[in-house]
């Protein structure tokens, strides 16, 4: 009996590892992933990563954000990443000022596991740049629209 419980627990653990691997890979194939990797631990940066139960009530599977103080080189790199990743987006809403994306919303195609994926970007009035990556199931689109898209 004890061996069956152990086998069951190991099977569930293995399944969770596989599922989390697919989720991580969904962002890794995006260019913005390099921004999180490169600047996430830099002094002055604030990075937040949430997954699992912390997001259950929000109908999201993953939330990752980074806020950086204004730096021209970093901003240029983020702009390049957004330009690359938005080519894959099927819904784009942007505000561009003087040739620079100051605010952006990008909905990316679903991954094989039917996960909605979003990139959000904003340059704040306080000279900070915030980049957000989120993913979730079918219900997440309604939440994202309520939170980030102005209703007319």
Residue 54: pLDDT band with limits 50, 70, 90:
confident
pLDDT at position 68 over 90: yes
User: Regarding predicted confidence, which is higher, 142 or 94?
Assistant: 94
pLDDT at position 127 over 90: no
pTM of the model: 0.75
52: phi > 0 → left, psi -120 to 50 → alpha, else beta; which? left
How many whole angstroms separate alpha carbon 94 and alpha carbon 105?
Answer: 6
Continuous H helices in 30-101: 33-39, 72-86
pLDDT at position 67 over 90: yes
% of the chain with per-residue pLDDT over 70 = 70
The least confident of 16-30, 83-97, 137-151 is: 16-30
pLDDT of res. 17: 40
How many whole angstroms separate alpha carbon 49 and alpha carbon 47?
Answer: 7
Residue 94: pLDDT band with limits 50, 70, 90:
very high
How many whole angstroms separate alpha carbon 102 and alpha carbon 111?
Answer: 27
How many whole angstroms separate alpha carbon 26 and alpha carbon 149?
Answer: 23
What rounded mean pLDDT belongs to the chain?
78
User: Regarding predicted confidence, which is higher, 68 or 28?
Assistant: 68
């Amino acid at each position: 009996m004890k061996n069956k419980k152990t086998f069951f627990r190991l099977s569930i653990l293995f399944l969770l590892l596989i599922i989390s691997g697919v989720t991580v890979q969904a962002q890794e194939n995006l260019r913005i992933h390099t921004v999180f990797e490169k600047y996430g631990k830099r002094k002055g940066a604030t990075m937040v990563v949430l997954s699992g139960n912390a997001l259950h009530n929000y109908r999201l599977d993953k939330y990752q954000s980074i806020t950086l103080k204004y730096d021209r080189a970093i901003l240029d790199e983020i702009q390049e990443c957004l330009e690359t990743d938005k080519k894959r987006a099927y819904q784009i809403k942007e505000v561009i000022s003087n040739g620079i994306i100051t605010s952006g919303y990008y909905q990316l195609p679903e991954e094989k596991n039917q996960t909605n994926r979003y990139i959000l970007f904003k340059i704040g009035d306080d000279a900070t740049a915030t980049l957000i990556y989120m993913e979730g199931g079918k219900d997440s689109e309604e939440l994202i629209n309520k939170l980030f898209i102005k209703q007319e």
